[in-house]
């Protein structure tokens, strides 16, 4: 079963990225998630799929991380640091990375429940499994997904308009 938990590694890494912008803090969060999965593996009782259980544990750790992080001052990365971290990257790749970073930034600004729902949706989960993780009804989850996507799109477009000279 431990090996099966590891199968979800890429999804858990993306989830950590959704909760934390700083790459070093992402690694710490990922380690914290893995530790919690390891500690609680014995309590997995099979009432839901292993994938759902992994997401539930990971999201709980991520939500706790956000609460702790808000208590501390957040570190901002300036443009010089970003340029130093990305030598030799073509302009199209930089644009894609910037867009992805903006989307994750908008996701991190969502309420914890909305963040959890959209991260699971982006991992390819449907309303039913997301409902099991969140405790909401599948209909409520589907409605929330629609509203969150609309909000993210609106915020993304408004941010692009604000960035124009």
Q: Which two tokens stand for residue 102?
A: 């903006």
- pLDDT of 5 higher than 50: no
Q: Which two tokens stand for residue 82?
A: 């970003």
Angle of helix 50-71 relative to helix 23-40, nearest 10 degrees?
130
In which band, very low, low, confident or very high, does the pLDDT at 7 lie, cut at 50, 70 and 90? low
- At 92, is the secondary structure helix, strand, or coil? helix
Torsion of CA 130, 112, 148, 24, to 10 degrees: -100
* Better-predicted residue by pLDDT, 75 or 113: 113
pLDDT on residue 120: 87
pLDDT on residue 41: 81
* Better-predicted residue by pLDDT, 83 or 105: 105
Name the CATH code of domain 2-163 (choices 3.40.50.170, 3.40.50.620, 1.10.1240.10, 1.20.140.160).
1.20.140.160
pLDDT on residue 146: 94
Q: Which residue has the tokens 């309420």?
A: 111
In which band, very low, low, confident or very high, does the pLDDT at 75 lie, cut at 50, 70 and 90? very low
Helices (H), the chain: 2-6, 9-19, 23-40, 50-71, 79-85, 91-108, 112-122, 127-134, 138-163
In which band, very low, low, confident or very high, does the pLDDT at 71 lie, cut at 50, 70 and 90? low
Q: pLDDT of 105-164, one tens digit each?
A: 899 889 988 998 998 898 888 999 999 888 899 999 999 999 999 999 998 888 754 544
Note whether 137 and 113 are within 8 A (CB): no
Tell me the torsion sign for CA atoms 21, 25, 31, 33: negative
Q: Which two tokens stand for residue 79?
A: 């443009």
pLDDT on residue 62: 86
| Displacement of CA 82 from its chain's centroid (Å) | 21
Domain spans of the chain? 2-163
Note whether 119 and 15 are within 8 A (CB): yes
Q: What's the rounded mean pLDDT across residues 73-97?
A: 55
- pLDDT of 18 higher than 60: yes
In which band, very low, low, confident or very high, does the pLDDT at 81 lie, cut at 50, 70 and 90? low
Q: pLDDT of 41-70, one tens digit each?
A: 888 888 888 888 888 888 888 888 877 776
Q: How far lies 141's CA from each of 41, 47, 68, in Å?
A: 27, 20, 26
The string of DSSP letters for 32-44 reads: HHHHHHHHHGGG-
């Amino acid at each position: 079963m431990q090996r099966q938990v590891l199968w979800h590694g890429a999804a858990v890494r993306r989830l950590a990225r959704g909760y934390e912008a700083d790459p070093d803090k992402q690694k710490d969060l990922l380690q914290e998630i893995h530790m919690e999965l390891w500690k609680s593996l014995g309590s997995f009782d099979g009432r839901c799929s292993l994938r759902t259980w992994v997401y539930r544990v990971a999201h709980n750790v991520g939500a706790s991380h956000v609460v702790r992080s808000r208590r501390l001052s957040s570190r901002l990365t300036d443009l010089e640091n970003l340029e130093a971290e990305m030598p030799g990257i073509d302009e199209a790749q930089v644009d894609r990375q910037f867009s992805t970073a903006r989307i994750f930034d908008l996701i991190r600004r969502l309420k914890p429940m909305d963040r959890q729902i959209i991260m699971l949706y982006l991992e390819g989960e449907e309303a039913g499994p997301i409902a099991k993780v969140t405790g909401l009804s599948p209909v409520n989850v589907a409605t929330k997904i629609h509203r969150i996507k609309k909000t993210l799109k609106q915020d993304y477009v408004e941010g692009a308009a604000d960035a124009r000279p």
